[in-house]
Amino acid sequence: MKNSIVLLVFILSVHLSFANKYESAMGSAIEKLYAANDQETYVTAATTFERIGDAEKDQWLPYYYAGLGYIWTSNTINDGNKIDEYLDQAQSLMDKAEKLSPNNDEIVTLQGYIYMMKVVVDPPTRGPEFSGLAMQEFGRAVGMNADNPRALLLLGRMKMGTDQFFGNDLSESCGMISKASQMFDDQKTKSKLDPVWGKEMAEMFVNECKSN
């Protein structure tokens, strides 16, 4: 009997470690993604998430982070064709994530982020279409979850770009940015794997607002 209990405990701990394997792998991959600083480290992080996603099959977060990794990769290079390739990659991952978790404000935000980055390649050609699409997605994400600081931050940044372009007053868009920046401090996450990124970016945008 005693033996059985020992065994049972052992089995349970094994099961737990299986469950924890996902969390620990994700946790360390997320750390690596946040620490990445060049093309190679971003791609390494993104491919790690792809592997986890393909092995798990029913988790949206690995695909979400893989997509984020490729978006950030595209931000480290200048070659337009290559940027598009990374963004296409991010797009296909976002499609997978969307299938696993439809109507998810974090995924919608990232979809907008992809559109936002697409503009960078060729602003005169893509600006009119993709900046509209990006705004639409960010707006949709804010509508789904008003407490999502990333959605509000990126919406504010897009609006700021438009306002700068039209020479409008920036108080509204900068207001959105500073509100989003405060929201980062009291983010509520359901699990420690949920997205929390964006604070540094928010600080950067807040400074941009100050210098204007």
Partner 1 sequence: MKRLVFIHLFYAVSHFTFGQYVISGNVKDEKGNALFGVNIYIKDTYDGASSDLNGNFYFKSSVSGKQTIVTSYIGYKLIETEVNLVGDLIGQQLELQEEINKIDGVTISAGAFEASDKKKSVILRTFDVVTTAGATADITGVMNTLPGTQTVGEEGKLFVRGGAGHEVKTFINGLLVAEPYGQTPQNIPSRFRFNPFLFKGAFFSTGGYSAEYGQALSSILRLDTYDLPARSQTDISIMSVGADVSHTIKKDNTSLYGQVQYTDLSAYFSLVPQKYEWNDAPKSLNSTVHFKQKFKSAGHIQAYLNYDRSRMKVNQPLPGKIYETGLFDIDNDNFYSNLAVQNSINDRLSYRGGVSFSANKNEILMGEGFSSKSNIRSSHAKLVFDHDASEHVFLRFGAEWIFNDHKEIIVENENNSPLNFDIDNHLATTFAEGDVYFSNALMARIGLRYEYNSLIDNKYIAPRASLAYKLNKNSQFSFAYGKFSQLPVKEYLYWSNMLEPEKATHYIFNYQYNKTGRIFRAELYYKKYEQLVTKEFIYNQSPLLKSDGYGEAKGFELFWRDSKTFKAIDYWVSYSYLDAERKYDIFPAPVMPYYASNHNLSVVYKHFIAQLKSQIGWTYSFASGRPYTDPNTGSLNSEMTKSYNDLSINYSYLLKPNMIIHASLSNVLGFRNIYGYQYNYEPNESGEYESIPIEPQAKRFFMIGFFLTISKDKNANMLNNL
Interacting residue ranges for partner 1, rule: CB under 8 A? 4, 7, 11, 14-15, 21, 25, 40, 43-44, 47-48, 50-52, 54-55, 80-81, 84-85, 88-89, 92, 121-122, 124-126, 128-129, 132-133, 135-136, 139, 159, 162, 164-168
Q: Judged by CB, which is closer to partner 1: 85, or 208?
A: 85
Query: In the bound complex, what is the minimum distance in angstroms from residue 128's beta carbon to partner 1?
Result: 6
Q: Comparing C-alpha atoms, which of 108, 111, 115, 114 is closest to residue 130?
A: 115
Structure tokens at 188: 């509520």
Between residues 43 and 180, which has the closer beta carbon with respect to partner 1? 43
| Cα 118 from Cα 46, distance rounded (Å) | 19
Return the structure tokens found at 29: 């991959």
Nearer to partner 1, 118 or 184 (CB): 118
**Smallest separation, CB 116 to partner 1 (Å):** 15
CB of 95 to partner 1, least distance (A): 12
Question: How far lies 35's CA from each of 13, 32, 139, 166, in Å?
Answer: 31, 5, 29, 36
Per-residue DSSP letters for 126-172? Answer: HIIIIIHHHHHHHHHHHHH-TT-HHHHHHHHHHHHHHHHHHT---HH
Please give the helix or strand (H or E) that residue 98 lies within, else none: helix 80-100
Report the distance separating Cα 31 and Cα 54, nearest Å.
Answer: 20
- 16 vs 204, beta carbon nearer partner 1: 16
Q: How far is the CB of 114 from partner 1 (least distance, A)?
A: 14
What's the Cα-to-Cα distance from 6 to each of 1, 63, 64, rounded to whole Å? 9, 38, 40
Nearer to partner 1, 14 or 19 (CB): 14
Report the nearest approach of partner 1 to the CB of residue 187 (Å): 27
Helix 149-166, helix 199-211: angle, nearest 10: 30
Closest separation in Å from C-beta 203 to partner 1:
25
Question: Whose Cβ is closer to partner 1: residue 124's or residue 210's?
Answer: 124
